[in-house]
Amino acid sequence: MKFTFSSGQKPLDGYTIKRGIGKGGFGEVYFALSDGGKEVALKMLRGDHAEIELRGIRQCLNLKHPNLVSLYDVKVDDHGTPWVVMEYVAGDTLNAVLNRHPRGLPLELVQQWFPSLCRAVNYLHEHGIVHRDLKPANIFIEQGILKIGDYGLSKSISSSHRNAQTSSVGTVHYMAPEISSGNYNKSVDIYALGVLLYEMLTGSPPFDGESAQEVMMKHLMALPDLTRVPPAFQGVLAKTLAKDPKERHASAAELVTEVESLFADIGMGPQPVWNKSMPVLTAQPAGSGTKPSPAPAAAHVPFAQPVPRLRRPEGVASTIPVATQATPPVVGPMPLRLRLSEAATSLLLSAILAAMASVLLAALNLSDDLNALGTMFFLTLGVCWSVLLPAPFWTAKEGDDWGRRLILMTLGGMVGFLAFWLDGWAPQLHSQAASEARSTVGHWLNNPFAVAAGFIRYFGLGLGLPRWGRLAQRNRKAWFSFGPVVTTTIWAFALLIVWPWHDRPYGVAALILGSMIVQWVSPWTPPPPTPPRRLRLRQVPQTAKFIGRYAG
């Protein structure tokens, strides 16, 4: 990595460059010494957005918090280039620590670092500042103390929601969904805290992809896989990572209170601190008032101590599996806007599949009757849309209650009236050939009211009696199952007793195709994997041990 300045140069009066630390879109960062010998970090600002970052830094210049990288001053060199003088943090970034723990940090470290992170963010929010770029690369760990850096993207909460910053800020893996609309209040930091907690617990962020656009779409549309995190944290993460900002925690202080209560509930002791005499994590007694003492700079601080393996006591048999109840995944509610977007996609796909199925049936039947082809398409599409249109609003509870069945029965009656109209009973479609055909059938079928009632009864009962509501549920057991198709087929043939035209059973094909297409196009979330069976040790009676010793 090539830097503008090398060791020994003094581009800024009073400071000597020792080495380059990093480069980014906003400039370069150097480790330097002041003329008095103080170690500092110098950040040279340049580029089109230098003034934006400088404005954010000036807002944070007088903030003081133990978990924030201190900003000392802003200076300008002889060439008019602005420099930020800030605290030099010698430790690793949280990103480097996470790279050493691909399966997540030990809970002791999460317990120590995440509350500190939340308190620092809450301090920024209390002073009217949104960080907007919380990510592991901007979080530093020095002798066990967490510090948030990179204030360049910080922004006043009271400032306008849209300006030149909106197109180039943040890191996509930690961006809240509302950033796509230019909304930058403190809720975006709450969401980023949820992503960081998820990554601390699992070793990776909740959403990943081949491109930034793919990751951002997952933030907008997909739900995080909370089965990867410990069950105790699934509820708090579902709330923190909610798509709707109004459903998240109101503040970082509320979030840290809930997380600390979770650690207390799972039986973890007080927050660990650094013991000066032994560079390992130890627990601070409650109420002791003792402040953490930093470990020696040269000491190696292990992140987790090995747990000794316990020997099985004598007289204890092999472990016996004891089944435990599976913990269902906890997911946050999806906003109505996203549900409607999914529904629109499902409606379009159902139209395409209905057209393909109608053409395929016509080809198999070796028929070139366009009227029959159109009738099959519109009836199949009507059945599908009758189920897919109300499905986005059926999220309060599972199952097929009678209220939902009544709605489906009403929509089915409308499909029946469509079938009545497509059959040629409307004046503009009532051809002479159709009239001659009906005249030979009898008086009942020449009565339009009786025919309409037959169509309406068929589709009304065909959609109201089977459990259509379950076919479009997101949490159904499988993406596609033949069981509902078989059930619908049985009902479709049984209800032919009310179908007016037995020689043209379009309704049977429409119901059967609809039961398949609805499953194919409806969103589906796979069920969580079955958790491993918990093993428990049980004492073997002495008599059984004696028999086992001499058996065989």
CA distance 234 to 331: 8
Domains along the chain with CATH numbers: 15-87 (3.30.200.20), 92-157+168-274 (1.10.510.10), 336-521 (no CATH)
Q: What is the 3-state secondary structure (H, E, C) of 276-316?
A: CCCCCEEECCCCCCCCCCCCCCCCCCCCCCCCCCCCCCCCE
pLDDT in tens, 148-192: 988 655 554 444 333 333 333 447 899 999 887 777 789 999 999
DSSP code at position 326: P
Q: How many CB atoms lie within 10 A of CB 198?
A: 24
Q: pLDDT higher for 285 or 110? A: 110
Reported pTM: 0.52
Question: pLDDT digits over 71-129, tens only?
Answer: 999 999 988 889 999 999 988 999 999 999 999 999 999 999 999 999 999 999 999 88
Q: Which residues contact 177 (CB under 8 A, 6 or more apart)?
A: 191, 219, 220, 243
3-state class (DSSP) for residue 495: helix
The one-letter code for the residue type at 458 is Y
For 2-55, how does the pLDDT look when each residue is reduced to its tens digit (9 = 90+)?
A: 889 999 999 999 999 999 988 876 788 999 999 999 999 999 987 766 777 777
The mean per-residue pLDDT over the stretch 308-317 comes to 40
Does pLDDT of 427 surpass 70? no
Instruction: Give the C-alpha separation, 198 to 330, whole Å.
Output: 14
- Which residues are the active-site residues? 133
> 53-61 long-range contacts, Cβ below 8 Å, gap at least 24?
53/26, 53/152, 53/153, 54/82, 54/84, 56/151, 56/152, 56/153, 56/154, 56/155, 57/84, 57/151, 57/152, 57/154, 59/128, 59/129, 59/154, 59/155, 59/156, 60/124, 60/129, 60/151, 60/154
> What is the greatest pairwise CA distance in the chain?
111
**Cα–Cα distance between 65 and 471 in angstroms, integer?**
54
> What are 501's two structure tokens?
């035209």
Are the beta carbons of 23 and 4 closer than 8 angstroms?
no
Number of neighbouring beta carbons within 10 Å of residue 487: 14
**Cα R_g (the chain), whole angstroms:** 33
Which of 424, 486, 493, 441 minimizes the C-alpha distance to 462?
A: 493
Least confident of 126-130, 351-355, 412-416, 532-536: 532-536
User: Is pLDDT at 298 greater than 50 in this prediction?
Assistant: no
